[in-house]
Amino acid sequence: DVKVTQSSRYLVKRTGEKVFLECVQDMDHENMFWYRQDPGLGLRLIYFSYDVKMKEKGDIPEGYSVSREKKERFSLILESASTNQTSMYLCASSFDRAPEAFFGQGTRLTVV
């Protein structure tokens, strides 16, 4: 079975903190994605990566950055967390240009 693991299920951080959300996949997938999920807005793409050290902005990249130093790991970074970044964050991975994506369990981040 494909496994996409997000390091935390729940996080509570203070405004202004630097926050790291980690995601690891075990299927040697080329593509990895970070989505943000908010009620009534569905899932919105923040960043994606199609190769090690490569990254592309999604639909809502402002306030976020990413890092992909190894193929299996994709990190989402909130440089200075703000309350409007309180949300559910979902990581996903897929083979190169393959349509089907596999999702992690999600990290519910609360910024206070």
- List interacting residues with other proteins (CB under 8 A): 4, 9, 31, 33, 35, 40-45, 48, 50, 56, 58, 90, 92, 94, 96-97, 99-106, 108
CB burial readout 15-30, b (16+ within 10 A) else e: eeeebebbbbbeeebb
Question: C-beta of 48: minimal distance to other proteins in Å?
Answer: 6
Minimum distance between the CB of residue 8 and other proteins, rounded to whole angstroms? 13
CA dist., res. 42 & res. 30, Å (int): 24
- Burial pattern 66-77, b for ≥16 Cβ within 10 A else e, equals bbbeebbbbbbe
State the nearest-atom distance from the C-beta of 83 to other proteins, in Å: 21
Closest CB to other proteins among residues 49, 82: 49
